[in-house]
Each structure stands twice: as C-alpha cells, then as structure tokens.
Amino acid sequence: MFNRYFQEELDNLKDLGGEFSKAHPALAPMLSGRSSDPDVDRLLEGVAFLTALLRQKLDDEFPEIIHEL
C-alpha cells in the first residue's frame, strides 16, 4: 500500500519538474530525464517518501477526523 503512495509522489515530482522545465526553457537541459547526480535522485526520493507517509496517514485517519466533526 505504501509503495503506491511513494510511486505516485515520485511520479508527481517528476511531472512537476517537466512542467517547470516547459515554463523555464533555459533550465530544461538540467531537468530533463533522470538526474546524473545520485544525490539529487535521493533528495527527490526523500521528499516523495515523506509526502507519501503524510498522505497515507491522512487517508488512514480521515474517517476519524470526519467522525469528530
């Protein structure tokens, strides 16, 4: 279940990078495809991991939040 959240977040970050490169063509060569810098890849994976944890927690606790209202 968590893998789905993680992959969705990672795909979303890559899509946003593509949109950013279209809006800023001068930076496009640095943003196209997979990064050649493994540290940048790990940073994106870390952000995707933390965001996926947050999304999973929100989805798991949503019924409890609504019940309290």
| DSSP states along 44-67 | HHHHHHHHHHHHHHHHHHHHHHHH
Six-digit token pair at 14?
């890559």
Of residues 48 and 60, the one with the higher pLDDT is 48
- Quote the percentage of the chain above a pLDDT of 70: 80
What pTM does this model have?
0.74
- For residue range 9-32, list pLDDT tens digits in order: 999 998 998 888 889 888 877 766
Containing structural domain, residue 61: 2-68
Mean pLDDT computed over 54-64: 83
Residue-level pLDDT at 30: 73
Domain count along the chain: 1
